[in-house]
């Protein structure tokens, strides 16, 4: 039985999985971002010339480590904890 957690994530067999490839990211009801690939880059210029952000501002992209699907983004400064979203198991 598969259950929606977000656009890119589903819960199956008690696990948080990538919807696209089924990759196992975490136990259901726990944070999953630590298991994702983190692509972090300067926000400045990230979406084009209009992204005139300060030097310290980062765009974090959390991707499926198996298929590369982009699952979530965050605006952050270095050292900020992840915005860990948890959907009840």
Partner 1 sequence: MDPITFSIIRHRLFRVVEEAVITLKHVSGSAITNEGHDLMVSLYRADGSLLMGGVGFLHHLTSAAEACKAVIRRFSGRIEEGDVYLLNDPYTAALHTSDIYLIAPIHHEGRLVAWSACFVHVYDIGAMNPGGFSPESPDIYTEGFSSPGIRLVERGVLRQDVFDTLLNMVRSPEMVALDLRSMIACNNVAKDRMLALIHKYGVATVDEACAELIGQSERLLRKRLGELPDGTWRSRQFMDVKGEVHRVELAMTKAGDSLVFDFTGSSPQSRHAINCTQWASLGGLFAPLFPLLCYDITWNEGVIKPITMIAPEGTVVNCRRPAPVSVATVGAIQSVNNAACATIGKMLSASELYADEATAVWHANHFAIFMFGRNQRGGQSIGILTETFAGAGGARSFADGIDVGGEIPNPISRMANVETMEAAFPIRYLFRRRMIDSGGPGRHRGGAGCELAITPHDAPDGGLHYVVSGKGAEFPMSDGLNGGYPGAPNSYIWVHQDEAGGDNRDARFAKALDELPGRKEPVTWGVFPLMGKDALYVRWNGGGGYGDPLEREPARVAADVHANLVSAEAAQAVYGVVLQADGRVDEGATAERRKTLRRGRLLTEAAE
The token pair that represents 13 in the structure block: 């067999």
42 makes contact with partner 1 (CB under 8 A): no
Task: Please list the residues that pair with 3 across neighbouring strands.
Answer: 11
27 makes contact with partner 1 (CB under 8 A): no
Identify which of residues 13 and 49 has a Cβ nearer to partner 1 in the complex.
49
The token pair that represents 56 in the structure block: 């310290």
22 makes contact with partner 1 (CB under 8 A): no
Exposure string of 32-60, with b = 16+ CB inside 10 Å and e = fewer, is bbeebeeeeeebeeeeeeeeeeeeeebbb
80 makes contact with partner 1 (CB under 8 A): yes
24 makes contact with partner 1 (CB under 8 A): no
Interatomic CA distance for residues 87 and 73, integer angstroms: 17
76 makes contact with partner 1 (CB under 8 A): yes
50 makes contact with partner 1 (CB under 8 A): yes
Residues near partner 1 (CB under 8 A) are 3-8, 33-40, 43, 46-54, 57, 59, 61-63, 65-77, 80, 82-88
């Amino acid at each position: 039985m598969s259950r929606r957690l977000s656009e890119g994530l589903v819960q199956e067999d008690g696990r948080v999985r990538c919807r696209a490839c089924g990759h196992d990211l975490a136990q259901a009801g726990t944070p999953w971002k630590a298991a994702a690939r983190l692509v972090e880059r300067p926000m400045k210029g990230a979406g084009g010339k209009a992204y005139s952000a300060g030097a310290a501002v980062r765009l974090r992209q959390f991707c499926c480590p198996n298929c590369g699907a982009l699952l979530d983004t965050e605006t952050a400064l270095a050292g900020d904890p992840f915005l860990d979203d948890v959907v009840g198991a």
